[in-house]
Amino acid sequence: MVRISILGYGKVGRQLARAFHEAGDIELVQVYNRTAVKESASGTMKFVSDLADLSEADIYIISVSDKAVAELASQLPFHDKLVVHTAGSLAQEALGVRNRNGVFYPLQTFSHRRAVDFNGLPVFVGAQHADDLELLKKATTALHARTFEVDDKQRKALHVAAVFACNFSNHLYKIADETCRESNIPFDVLHPLILETAQKIMVMEPAKAQTGPAVRHDEATIGAHLEFLSDPVKKELYQLITRSIQHA
Amino acid sequence: MVRISILGYGKVGRQLARAFHEAGDIELVQVYNRTAVKESASGTMKFVSDLADLSEADIYIISVSDKAVAELASQLPFHDKLVVHTAGSLAQEALGVRNRNGVFYPLQTFSHRRAVDFNGLPVFVGAQHADDLELLKKATTALHARTFEVDDKQRKALHVAAVFACNFSNHLYKIADETCRESNIPFDVLHPLILETAQKIMVMEPAKAQTGPAVRHDEATIGAHLEFLSDPVKKELYQLITRSIQHA
C-alpha cells in the first residue's frame, strides 16, 4: 500500500485525486488545497486547507501552477519526504532541497468535468534516489499507466511536443469551428474528419499522412482560401503553416 | 438501382469506387483512369482508360485534381448526363455546360492504403435540378453517409475549416513527432493525448477545451519552449499560434 497526498486541487490534482482514490494498492491520505474545497462529489476524500494539518504519506504530489510550486514546496512542514511535481517544463530542482525531489508528469490534457482515463496513459517519472523511483512506479502501476523515466530536458521536449499536438491542434479546431459557424454549418460535420486525422497517425507517420492543398502545392486552392479568410491572424496562420508543410 | 461511374482512380476515387462497389442499391458501372490500372485488389471492378469506352450511367463522379476537372469534363463523349466533381473549393460551374452539373464532396482525409468509413460521414451535395439532387441523395444513402445541401460558398468555408482541422493539425503532429524523435522519445507516447484532444471536442466546444501555457498566459513556460526550439519556422509557428490563442 502506497500512501499518497495530493497538494493542489486544480485540473490535474482533481483527476489524480479521483484516480488514486479509486485505485487499488493506494491510500489517498489527504488532498490539500489553499482554499477550502466544497464538493459533494469528493465523497470520502479528506481535504485540508492548512499545510500544518498534513499527515504522514509516502509521496506528496504537488499539482499547482508552475510558478507556485517552489513556494509551496518551501512551506511544507516536514523534510526528507518524497515530494514530486506534475509539470512538463519545470526542473525537478524547483522543489528545493528540504525534501527528496521527484517528478510525476502525466501526459494528457486535463479539463474540469471530463474524467481522464489513466489506463495506458504515459506518465514520466524522475527521482534522485532509486527507492523513490520505485515508489513512483508503484503509483503509476496502480493507475495501470505506462511508466517512462526521463530527464528534465526530455520532459521539456515532451511538453513542447504536447503543446503542438494538443494545445495548438485544439486552437485549429476552434478556428474551424468559427469558420463553420460563420457559414451556418454545424461544427459537428467536422467530427469524423478530426477523429480520422487523429486515428490515422496511430498507424501511419504524420509525415506520410499529410493531405490537402499545401502538400499538393495546389496554389489555386491556397489562393482561394486566403482570399476567403478575412481575419488577418487566420490568414497569417494559413500562410505560415502552408509554408511549413511545403518546406518540410 | 443507381448506376455510378467513377472518373479518376486517385486517393478519393479509389475509396469511392470501393465503397460503391460494396454498397447495395448501387451498380458501379465503370472506373475510368487516364492510365491503365493494374490492381489485383480491384477484383470485379471494370476499368477503362479511354473515355470513348464509357457506358451509360446515372451519375458520373469526377475525382481528379482540381485543375484537371474542367478539361476532363469537356472531353466527355456525351451530353445532358449528371456529372459531378468531389472538390471542396471548385465551383460547380467548372464542369462546363455540356452536361448537368453537380457536386459530391465527402468531408474526409483520404490516404492510399487506409479504407475510409463512409458510415455517418458528411457528404455535401449540390445540383442544378431537383431530380439530380435526388439521385445524389440515393448515392449517399447507399453509403449510409449523412447528406447536406450546400452552395459553393459554404462548401469553400467547409474546405477551409477542414484544412485547419485536419491538414494543419496533422502538420502539428509531425512537428511533435520530430520533437520527440530528436529527444529519443517514441512518438507513440503522444497517441493518448492526441486522441483525447480530438475526442474532447466531440462533447465540448474547442474554445472551452483549450488548455496549455498560451491560454494560461504562462509566460515562463512559453519563454522556455521558445528557447528550446532551435528551428526558426517552428519558433515562428509557436509564437503565432500562441498569440492567436491569447487574443482569441
DSSP A96-117: -SSSEEEEEEE-S---TTS---
Average pLDDT over residues B56-72: 97
**A223 reaches B (C-beta below 8 A):** no
Let me know: does B60 contact B38? Beta carbons within 8 Å. no
With a CB cutoff of 8 Å and minimum separation 6, the contacts of A162 are A88, A107, B176, B190, B193, B212
- In whole angstroms, what is the distance from residue B153 CA to residue B156 CA? 5
Average pLDDT of B48-69? 97
| Segment A124-140 mean pLDDT | 97
Band of pLDDT at residue A66, cut at 50, 70 and 90? very high
Closest A-chain CA to B116 = A196
Residue carrying the nine cell digits 492526441: B194
> Does B42 have pLDDT greater than 70?
no
The alpha carbon of residue B117 is apart from the nearest alpha carbon of chain A, in Å, by 9
The pLDDT-based confidence of A128 (bands split at 50, 70, 90) is very high
- Average pLDDT of every residue of chain A: 95
Contact A76, A92 (CB under 8 A): no
Contact A194 B169 (CB under 8 A): yes
C-alpha distances out from residue A177 to A180, A194, B99, Å: 5, 12, 35
Residue in A169, A197, A218 nearest the CB of B66: A218
Q: Check whether A42 has a pLDDT greater than 70.
A: no
Q: How confident is residue A168, by pLDDT bands cut at 50, 70 and 90?
A: very high
B161 close to A227: Cβ distance less than 8 angstroms: no
- Does the interface ipTM go beyond 0.90? yes
Residue contact B211–A67, C-beta within 8 A: no
Give the list of residues 6+ apart from residue B150 with CB closer than 8 angstroms, or none: A185, B124, B125, B126, B158
**Residue A62 confidence (pLDDT) above 70:** yes
Sheet with A122-127, edge to edge strand ranges: A47-48, A26-32, A2-7, A59-62, A82-85, A100-106, A122-127, A146-149
**What amino acid occupies position A56?**
E
Q: Would you say B32 and B7 are in contact if contact means Cβ atoms under 8 Å apart? A: yes
**Inter-chain touch A196–B109, beta carbons under 8 Å:** yes
**3-state secondary structure at position A244:** helix
Q: In which band, very low, low, confident or very high, does the pLDDT at B111 lie, cut at 50, 70 and 90? A: confident
Chain B positions touching A69 (Cβ under 8 A) are none
In angstroms, the separation between the Cα of residue A53 and the nearest Cα of chain B is 30
Q: How far is B146 from chain A (nearest CA, A)?
A: 9
pTM to 2 decimal places:
0.93
Q: Are B60 and B84 in contact (CB under 8 A)?
A: yes
Report the gap between the CA of B203 and the closest CA in chain A (Å): 10
Distance CA A180, CA A169 (A): 17
Alpha-carbon span B159 to B89, nearest angstrom:
6
Contact A111 B209 (CB under 8 A): yes
Contacts of B233 in chain A (CB under 8 A): 240, 243-244, 247
Q: Please give the single-letter amino acid code of residue A39.
A: E
Q: What SS3 state is found at A245? A: helix
* DSSP classification of residue B187: G
Cα–Cα distance for residue pair B184/A180, rounded to 1 Å: 39
As a whole number, mean pLDDT of residues B32-60 equals: 88
Distance CA B65, CA A216 (A): 9
Q: Which 27-86 residues of chain B touch chain A by CB within 8 A? A: 65-67
Closest CA to B60 of B112, B115, B132: B132
For residue A125, give Cα distances in angstroms to A46, A154, B136: 26, 11, 55
From chain B, pick out residues whose CB is under 8 angstroms from the CB of A194: 165-166, 169, 198, 201
Distance CA B151, CA B196 (A): 33
Give which of B125, B163, B226 to mutate to test A binding, by max A Cβ within 10 Å: B163
How many contacts, defined by CB atoms under 8 Å, are there between A and B? Answer: 340
Across A186-190, B109-113, B178-182, least confident range: B109-113
pLDDT attached to residue B40: 59
Contact B244 A238 (CB under 8 A): no
